[in-house]
Structure 1
Amino acid sequence: MITYEDVVKRAKFIGKVTETRYMPPFPADRKFQAYLNERGLTVGEITKIKLWIEGGMKEGILKSTDNRQQSIESELVKPDLVLKMNKPYPISGENLEDFRFFSLPSKTPRDEYITAIGFTAGNKKVVHHSRLMVDTTNNIRGIDGLSETDPKVYEFQKTALKEEFLYGWVPGNDKINFPKGTGVKLNANADFLLNMHYAPSPVPDTDQSEIQLYFAKDKIEREVRNFTLRENDISNKPFLIKAGQKATFFISKKIDKSMSLISVLPHMHLIGKTFRAFVITPDGEVVNLVKIDSWDFNWQMTYQFKKLLKIPAGSTFIVEGTYDNTAENPENPYNPPRDIGYGWGTKDEMFNLVLYYLDYKEGDENIEQK
C-alpha cells in the first residue's frame, strides 16, 4: 500500500485488523520480554486510524514524489554483497516437498566481518524456508540444485562446513543486524551454501532467491557465534505427536560458559500451538527469552533483544513447546489426523530455538542494541 487510493479502498478492513492488533503481526508476548524489532501500534496510533476512517477518510497534503523517494533512498543502506541463485530453479508442480542445495561463491578477496544478513525469497508462494551455511574448503563449489537425498550431502556436512547455521529465513522473518563492533567472520573466497526447502506446489513454477550481506566498515572487536537447541536435546523423547492427541515437549540444556544473548529464533511447523523459552541462572534468577501463546507458522521471527542478555556459566536453558494433532486443529495438515514426528517437510514437525550470542564481557548487560 503506497498511495492514498491503495489505502482508502481498504480503510475499513485496515481499521478492523489494527484495532484487534491482528496487524501488524508480532506473535511474541511483549510483557514477557522486550525486543528491538517489535512491530506494533500504540493506542494513540490505532485511535488516529479509527478517527480518520470515521471522519470520512480525507486525503492529506501530497508531498513531492521526488522528495519522498529521495528521503526513502537516503534511509536505505545498500548491501555490500548480493548473491543470487545462479539461475531460476524449476519447481515440478507435482505437489511434492523439495529440498535443494545451492553454492554461492563469495569471491571476496580478503577476510570480512558480516554485520547484517538479509534474504529475499524469489517466490514466496513456494519457498518454505531457507538456511545459509558457509564452506571455506571450496570443495563443493558448483553445487546447483543438489538434492538432499544425494550421498554428497552427508559428506560435505561432515567435512566442508565452517558454519552449519549462519542465518535462517522463515515466513515473516527480517534482516538480522548484529551489535555495533561485532560480526561473523567470513574467510576470503569462502562459499555460501543455500539450503532451500520448497513447499508442495500443484503447478510448475520457479524460484531464484538471493541473500544480502553487509560488511563491517570499522574494526570488529568481537565475533558473533550461534547455537541451536533442537529435537536431540528434548528431555521427554520420543518427539512424536500421536494422531488425535496433544503433546508438550521440553528441552533442558545447561551451558558451561557465560554468554551475552543477541537474539532468539523459535521454530515449529503447522500443529505447533505455543512456544516458551527462558533461562534459570545458578542463583535461581529467571531470564525470559520468548513466549508465543498462539503459534502461527506464517509469522516467524528472529527476536532481537533491546539489550544484550547476560547468561552466566552454569545456567540452564528451558524450552517448552505444545502441539495439537487433533481434528479440531484447523491447521492440521492431515484429515483424519496421522502420527507426526520429526522432519523438514511442512507436514512434519520441528522444535528448535536458534540463538546468536557473544562470549560474555563485563558490562554487556548494559549495552543497548541499535
Structure 2
Amino acid sequence: MDSQFKRLTLTGLCLIGLSVAAPIHATAESGDAAADVRSGPEPIKPTEHGVGRLIENVSFTDLDGATHRLSDFADHKATVIAMTGTGCPLCKKYSPTLARLQSEFQDKDVAFVLVNPNESESVAVLREAIQTHGFSGLYVRDDQEVLTRALGATTTTEVFVLDAARTLVYRGAVDDQYSFGYALDAPKRNFLADALTAVLAGERPEVAATTAPGCELLLVEIEDTESTDSAAAVTFHNRVSRVLQDNCQQCHRDNGLAPFPLTTYEDTKDYAAMIANVVQRQIMPPWFAAPHNTAESKLEIRWSNDRSLPQEDRDALLAWVAAGAPEGDEADAPLPRRFSDEWEIGQPDLIVEIPDPITVKASGQMPYRHARVATSFAEDRWVQAVEIQPTDRAVVHHVLVFIQDGKKAINEDAGFFAAYVPGNTSQRYPTGMAKKLPAGSSLVFQLHYTPNGTETVDQTRLGIVFADKPPTRVIRNAGISNHRISIPAGAGNHPESASLKVPTDVRVLSFMPHMHLRGKAFRYTVTMPDGQREVLLDVPRYDFNWQLEYRLAQPLDIPKGSQIDVTGWFDNSESNPANPDPTETVRWGPQTDDEMLLGYVEYFVTTETAASDSDESPASDDVSLSPSFLEKSFQRADQNGDGKVTREEFPRPLLFRRLDRNNDGVLLLDEVLESSRAN
C-alpha cells in the first residue's frame, strides 16, 4: 500500500510538471510566476547537498538480474549514476544526451549506471527505451529505491558523479538545455560533461552542484528497512577526511598558507581538540556573513564562495572528536585532493613582481608597505583573471593592488584592481566580463605583513590573464567610505556610516568590508527608489584577520536612484584585546592602529560596454562631445555619488583640464555641460 501511494504521488508530481510546460498568459499579477516556471538549473551550495561525502556501498540488481555493488566500479576513474524514466517529459528529452555522453566517455574510463525509480514502468517499456536511445551502460529498475535513497536523489533527471573512492564530486543537472517552460537549441552550460572532464584531469568541478529540473521524487520513510551496510560510526577515513578536503585543505596543506596541514590522520589527530574548539565557536572555516533573511526579503541573495560549515558536517566533526578521534578503515579514505603549485588561473599572460624583496621582521607589527610597478602598454588592456602570489604566504595578511594614473597617490575609495586575502587569492571573471587596465598606468601593491616569529623575505607577484576580446560588461570597483570617522576613547559599540547614491542601473557582483583592529561588525543595506529597504550583507562578527570578499551567486540588480549605505561598529574599549590604545580617540588612517570605514562594491553598469568605455577616439578628449555623452561620463566617474568629480576620479586627464573651467580641480555637472555648450 505504501509503495503504491509513493508511485501515485510521483506520477501526480510529473503531471504538475506537464501542466507547467503549457503556455501561460502573463498578467500583471502572474509576471513573477511566469518567471519562475522558466527557471533552469541553478548552482547550489555543494556541501549542503552531500557533495564531498562517501556514498554507502549499497547492493543493487540490474535489469538482467545481475547483482552489483558500488565498490565494483572502483577500477574506473569516475562513475555516473543518472536518474531517468520513460514518462517524465524531461527524462525523454535528456535520453539522447545521456546516450551521447555514454558513448563519448566510455573510452575514457567512465562507467554509466542509469537508474529508473518508477515502479509503474514495466521491464518491457524500459528495454524498449534502451533499444530506442542506444543506452550501453547498466540499467537499473530501482523500484525498492536502494540507489535512489543512497544518493538522496530529488528528481528523475538528476545525475551523480562518483570518483574511484565513492566520493560524490558532482550532483545536479546534465546541462541547461531543457527545463519545464523552455527548450534551447543547444545548452549554454554542460554541467555533467564539464564535471567529468575535471575529474579525469584530477581536478574538482568548477560547478559541483545544481538543481535538476525534472519530475520530483517523493521518498516516503519506510519502517524496518535495513541498509545493506549498517550505519558506521564517524571515523577519519569515512567522513572527517572528506569534510577537511571540502572545507579546510585549501589552506591547511603542505605549502599552504595555514600554519599546519590537515591532510593525514596523524596531522589531524594532533589538532583534534583545537578543531572542536574552532568549530564550536564557528570561527573556522572563516565565514562571517549572517544568513540572508529570506522570510522578510524580496531579494534572492546567495554567496558563491560561502565557506560556512553545514550543520551535518559540524556535528560529524564534533562527534568524531568526542569519540576519541578514531581512524577507521583506510579503505574508506577519499582520493587525495590535488592542489596546483603554480597558478590557479592558469599560466598568466603577464607576471608583475614588486621591484625589491621586502624584509619581514620576526616580531611586533609592521606598517603597510607600498611598491609601484609601471606598465608599458600603449593601449588599454582587458583583464579576465588576476592572482596574487606572495613568496612567503605565512607572513602576508593581505595585499591590495591599485591602478595609479601618473604619480598621484592611490585612491582607495576608487576601488582595487586585485586582492589577496587568506583563502581568496585569485579572481576570475565570467566570459564576457573584464576589468580595464588603462594604457600607461602603474600598479601599486599595498602589502600588510604579520610577523610570525622568524625573520623572512617576501617578493609578492601578480599574475594577469588578458581577455581574448573586449568584454560586453566592464567590471568596476567602488569604495563607500567615511573619512571623518571619530571613535571615542573607551567606546565599546560605536557606529559610523557612509552612503552612495547609485547614479545609473547597475548589477552588483560582490562586497568586501574593510575596517581595522577595532572593527566589530559591518552591514550593507540598500534603499530602493520606491523606499523599499533591504539588507545586502550583514557581518555581525567582523574579524580583521580575515579580509573576506562576499561574492554573489547571481548578480544583483540595483536600479538608478537607489542608495547603498554601509555601517560599521567599532570596539575602542579595554575589553577589545586587539585594541592598541583604548584611551585614544581614533580617526581615519592607513595604518593598523588607525581605523577605516570602507565598503567595497564590485559591479558593472548595465548599459556600459567596452566600446562605450573606450578612449581610443581622438575626439574623446574634445569638449565638443555631445552633452548626453559627457553627462554619462560624469556619472560613471562620480563613483561616490557626491555630485563632484576630482581629477583622480576622471579617467581622461586632457578632457578634465578642458572641462575644469575655473581650474579648481573639481568638476560639477553644470560646469561640464556649460563647457560643452560654450564650444
For the criterion TM > 0.5, the same-fold answer is yes
Give the CA deviation at 1:112: 3.6
1:300 equivalent to 2:547? Answer: yes
Give the CA deviation at 1:222: 1.5
Unaligned runs of 5+ in 1: 138-154, 233-237, 363-370
2:317 to 49, 66, 71: 49
CA contact (8 A) 1:267 1:350 kept: yes
The aligned counterpart of 1:196 is 447
Letter of the 1:120 counterpart? Q
The structure where strand makes up a greater share of residues is 1
CA contact (8 A) 1:262 1:304 kept: yes
CA–CA separation in structure 2 for the residues paired with 1:103 and 1:231:
26
Deviates more, 1:292-301 or 1:74-83: 74-83
2:603 to 351, 354, 357: 357
CA contact (8 A) 1:271 1:331 kept: yes
Unaligned runs of 5+ in 2: 1-261, 294-300, 609-679
1:229 equivalent to 2:499? Answer: no
1:51-200 alignment runs, 5 A limit? 51-53=319-321, 54=323, 56-61=326-331, 69=338, 76-80=344-348, 81-91=350-360, 97-106=366-375, 111-124=380-393, 126-135=395-404, 155-157=407-409, 165-170=416-421, 173-187=424-438, 190-198=441-449
CA–CA separation in structure 2 for the residues paired with 1:323 and 1:196:
23
Q: Using a 3 Å threshold, how does the CA distance of structure 1 residues 206 and 259 change in structure 2: closer, same or farther? A: same
Letter of the 2:303 counterpart? Y
The aligned counterpart of 2:504 is 257
Q: State the aligned residue count.
A: 334
Give the number of the structure with larger relative contact order, counting CA–CA contacts within 8 Å between residues 6 or more apart: 1
Give the CA deviation at 1:224: 0.7
CA–CA separation in structure 2 for the residues paired with 1:338 and 1:278:
30
CA contact (8 A) 1:253 1:317 kept: yes
1:39 to 297, 303, 307: 307
Letter of the 2:603 counterpart? Y
CA–CA separation in structure 2 for the residues paired with 1:12 and 1:205:
30
CA RMSD of aligned residues (A): 3.4
CA–CA separation in structure 1 for the residues paired with 2:340 and 2:425:
18
Secondary structure, counterpart of 1:46 in structure 2: helix
CA–CA separation in structure 1 for the residues paired with 2:478 and 2:504:
13
Letter of the 1:221 counterpart? T
Deviates more, 1:31-40 or 1:93-102: 93-102
Deviates more, 1:55-64 or 1:216-225: 55-64
Q: Using a 3 Å threshold, how does the CA distance of structure 1 residues 103 and 48 change in structure 2: closer, same or farther? A: same
CA–CA separation in structure 1 for the residues paired with 2:568 and 2:474:
30
Q: Using a 3 Å threshold, how does the CA distance of structure 1 residues 164 and 285 change in structure 2: closer, same or farther? A: closer
| Cα deviations by residue, 1:309-332 (Å, 9 ceiling, x for unpaired) | 111111011111111111122221
Give the CA deviation at 1:189: 6.7
The aligned counterpart of 1:22 is 283
The aligned counterpart of 1:11 is 272
The aligned counterpart of 1:239 is 485
CA–CA separation in structure 2 for the residues paired with 1:271 and 1:2:
35
CA contact (8 A) 1:94 1:200 kept: yes
Deviates more, 1:173-182 or 1:194-203: 194-203
Letter of the 1:333 counterpart? P
Q: Using a 3 Å threshold, how does the CA distance of structure 1 residues 64 and 223 change in structure 2: closer, same or farther? A: closer
TM-score of the aligned structures, taking structure 2 as reference length = 0.44
The structure where helix makes up a greater share of residues is 2
1:207 to 425, 433, 458: 458
CA contact (8 A) 1:172 1:298 kept: no
CA–CA separation in structure 1 for the residues paired with 2:330 and 2:538:
39
CA contact (8 A) 1:277 1:317 kept: yes
| Cα deviations by residue, 1:200-229 (Å, 9 ceiling, x for unpaired) | 899754321122223324662121112111
Give the CA deviation at 1:63: 6.9
1:313-328 alignment runs, 5 A limit? 313-328=560-575
Structure of higher CA gyration radius: 2
Q: Using a 3 Å threshold, how does the CA distance of structure 1 residues 78 and 47 change in structure 2: closer, same or farther? A: same
CA–CA separation in structure 1 for the residues paired with 2:317 and 2:545:
26
Q: Using a 3 Å threshold, how does the CA distance of structure 1 residues 64 and 202 change in structure 2: closer, same or farther? A: closer
Give the CA deviation at 1:157: 3.0
Letter of the 2:274 counterpart? F
